[in-house]
């Protein structure tokens, strides 16, 4: 089959690789019809290289049709339409039972001391072959895939794999009371969806912050107050306070993560690790702070006293310098983590109807053949061509 594979920094290729096969009785093989490209994939493309091997199959936002089932699978059958959550979670352990699927005890990666395995996401997360491919092996066939109806386009359901539960969790963790205020840093797919969910759940003031004109414009169309960082890099906190009664918003979602623009020192550290031999670089990634922390610093600065910061942007450094004085003095709450997909899908599924309150049907800016994957990564990283969300569709070629 064809699959998108990682070969080095900014080097993603279309390779021909062996088809996946059933390895355990509860495995299913899914023929992928749509598969998203995520901001998290950009971290693999740029800074997380030390944790990948050339040839690793990327992708963690797939959906498709069940092509084959193992003998122990009773809950789905060949021909069923399914979405595959990005967490590889068993659904039956203590963590999964508490709705903490990204901490699944069956798939935690003990070698690195990390949480649940993820599809297509480095050795830190189990080096599991990903879903930007024609076929995907999905373990835990009775509990992991989310069955969805045939009929509506893939766009209706594909974001259940990641974008929707991640954004839902970010808004839930922000915990803004009705009538309250929320600022969202970053208006990529995650930040954009956070603004939509917040509005849907009744947050009165929703402020979106980014520096890419078409992303700001897209949010504005959804009734979000926007701030362009290119104009307000220095006085951001003042502008945000001006929109929130002088205090700052009740909560801030950081939907940017470890590659924020605007922290030159950490950018240099990231680049150095990119040049070092793998063994040294992965050690340094784990022990030294190498994240660009611009967004999380902004979040601490702009949130009101006693407010909440909800981090959905991914961070990875083990010794990132955090402004503890300000965090403690302002009495902030920090909540974060990979999204627990199954925890939120029962809340989200009823919204995926023809009425489409979250606008998922038109959410993708690009629907491209799998073969266009390498260019899509480059365009998405450079934020060109109006690209916000790309769905790769193997049946297109
Ligand atoms: N927690 C989870 O489970 C989970 C799941 C999916 C994605 N993520 C993470 O969420 C983040 C966003 O993902 P995405 O797909 O929307 O990616 P993206 O890269 O398209 O979006 C990031 C946006 O942040 C903007 N930005 C950069 N620096 C900024 C700054 N200092 N202040 C404000 N905005 C800034 C960029 O212009 C961009 O629009 C990534 O870090 C990704 O890894 C986390
Ligand atoms: Zn993703
Ligand atoms: Zn589990």
User: For 334-366, how does the pLDDT look when each residue is reduced to its tens digit (9 = 90+)?
Assistant: 999 999 999 999 999 999 999 999 999 999 999
330 CA → ligand 2 middle, Å: 32
Q: Which domains does the chain have, with CATH numbers?
A: 2-162+340-396 (3.90.180.10), 164-336 (3.40.50.720)
Task: Please work out whether the CB of residue 227 comes within 6 Å of at least one atom of ligand 1.
Answer: no
Report which ligand 1 atom has the smallest distance to the Cα of 102. Answer: 3
The string of pLDDT tens digits covering residues 97-120 is 999 999 999 999 999 999 999 999
What does the pLDDT look like over 167-188, one tens digit per residue?
Answer: 999 999 999 998 999 999 999 9
Q: Which residues, other chains included, contact 45 with Cβ-Cβ below 8 Å and sequence gap of 6+?
A: 6, 9, 10, 12, 377, 381
Q: Which atom of ligand 1 is nearest to the CA of 165?
A: 3
Q: Which phi and psi (to 5°) does residue 198 adopt? A: -60, -45
Q: Which of 64-73, 118-127, 223-232, 290-299 has the lowest mean pLDDT?
A: 290-299
Task: State the distance from the centre of ligand 1 to the C-alpha of 257, rounded, in angstroms.
Answer: 6
Task: Tell me which residue of 158, 202, 132 sits closest to 361, measured CA to CA.
Answer: 158
Query: What percent of the chain clears pLDDT 70, i.e. is strictly above it?
Result: 96
Distance from residue 170's CA to the centre of ligand 1 (Å): 12
Distance CA(167)–CA(65), nearest Å, equals 25
Ramachandran bin of 128, using left for φ above 0, alpha for ψ from -120 to 50, beta for the remaining angles: beta
| Residue closest to 172 by CA, chosen among 208, 209, 207, 203 | 203
Indicate the range of 6-10, 137-141, 315-319 predicted with least confidence: 315-319
Is the C-beta atom of 210 inside 6 A of ligand 1?
yes
CB 171 within 8 A of CB 197: yes
Cα–Cα distance, 167 to 187 (Å, whole number): 11
262 lines ligand 1 (CB under 6 A): yes
Which ligand 1 atom lies nearest to the CA of residue 262? 31
Asked whether the predicted pLDDT for residue 264 surpasses 90, the reply is: no
In short, whether 253's Cβ falls inside 6 Å of ligand 1 is no
Rounded to the nearest integer, the mean pLDDT of the chain is 95
What pTM did the predictor assign? 0.96
Does the pLDDT of residue 256 top 70, yes or no? Answer: yes
**pLDDT for residue 288:** 58
Residue 47 has pLDDT above 90, yes or no: no
State the average pLDDT over residues 262-282: 72
pLDDT of 262 above 70: no
Taking the CA of 97 as reference, the closest ligand is 3
Q: What is the pLDDT of residue 274?
A: 75
User: What integer pLDDT is reported at residue 287 of this predicted model?
Assistant: 63
Give 89 Cα–ligand 3 centroid separation in angstroms: 5
**What residues are paired with 253 via a beta bridge?**
184, 310
Mean pLDDT, residues 379-390? 98
Closest approach atom of ligand 1 to CA 211: 37
Q: From ligand 3's centre to the CA of 95, what distance in Å?
A: 6
Whether 372 lines ligand 1, by a CB cut-off of 6 Å, is no
Kindly give the distance from the C-alpha atom of residue 243 to the centroid of ligand 1, in angstroms, as a whole number: 23
Between these two residues, 82 and 265, which has the higher pLDDT value? 82
**C-beta of 340 in contact with ligand 1 (< 6 A):** no
pLDDT in tens, 290-349: 678 889 999 999 999 999 999 999 988 877 888 999 999 999 999 999 999 999 999 999
The stretches of the chain forming alpha helices (DSSP H) are: 39-46, 94-97, 163-174, 189-200, 213-221, 229-232, 236-243, 264-275, 278-287, 294-302, 324-329, 341-348, 373-382
In short, whether 216's Cβ falls inside 6 Å of ligand 1 is no
Ligand 2 centroid–CA 243 distance in Å is 31
Please state, in angstroms and rounded to a whole number, the distance separating the CA atoms of residues 120 and 26: 20
Residues 3/133, Cβ–Cβ less than 8 Å: yes
Task: Output the pLDDT for position 248.
Answer: 98
């Amino acid at each position: 089959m064809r699959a998108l594979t990682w070969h080095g920094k900014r080097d993603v290729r279309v390779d021909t690789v062996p088809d996946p096969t059933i390895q355990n009785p509860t495995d299913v093989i899914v023929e992928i019809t749509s598969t998203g490209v995520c901001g998290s994939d950009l971290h693999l493309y740029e800074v997380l290289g030390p944790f990948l091997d050339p040839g690793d199959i990327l992708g963690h936002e797939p959906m498709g049709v069940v092509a084959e089932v193992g003998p122990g699978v009773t809950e789905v059958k060949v021909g069923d339409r399914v979405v595959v959550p990005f967490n590889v979670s068993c659904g039956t352990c203590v963590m999964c039972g508490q709705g903490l699927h990204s901490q699944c005890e069956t798939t935690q990666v003990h070698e690195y001391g990390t949480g649940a395995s993820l599809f297509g996401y480095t050795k830190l997360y189990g080096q599991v072959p990903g879903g930007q491919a024609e076929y995907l092996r999905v373990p835990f066939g009775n509990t992991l895939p989310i069955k969805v109806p045939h009929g509506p386009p893939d766009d209706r359901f594909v974001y259940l794999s990641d974008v929707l539960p991640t954004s839902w969790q970010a808004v839930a963790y922000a915990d803004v009371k009705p009538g309250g205020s929320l600022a969202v840093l970053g208006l990529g797919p995650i930040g954009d969806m956070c603004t939509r969910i917040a509005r849907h759940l009744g947050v009165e003031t929703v402020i979106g912050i980014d520096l890419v004109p078409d992303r700001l414009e897209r949010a504005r169309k959804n009734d979000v107050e926007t701030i362009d960082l290119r104009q307000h890099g220095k006085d951001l906190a003042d502008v945000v306070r001006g929109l929130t009664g002088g205090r700052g918003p009740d909560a801030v979602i950081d939907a940017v993560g470890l590659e924020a623009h605007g922290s030159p020192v950490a950018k240099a550290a990231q680049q150095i690790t990119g040049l070092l031999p793998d063994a040294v670089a992965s050690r340094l990634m784990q022990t030294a702070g190498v994240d660009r922390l611009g967004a999380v610093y902004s979040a601490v600065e702009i949130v009101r006293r006693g407010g909440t910061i909800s981090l959905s942007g991914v961070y990875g450094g083990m010794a990132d310098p955090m402004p503890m004085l300000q965090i403690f003095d302002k009495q902030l709450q920090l909540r974060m983590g990979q999204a627990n997909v199954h925890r939120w899908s029962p809340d989200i599924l009823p919204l995926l109807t023809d009425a489409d309150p979250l606008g998922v049907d038109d959410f993708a800016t690009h629907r491209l053949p799998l073969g266009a994957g390498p260019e899509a990564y480059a365009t998405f990283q450079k934020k060109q061509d109006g690209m916000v969300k790309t769905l790769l569709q193997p049946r297109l070629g």
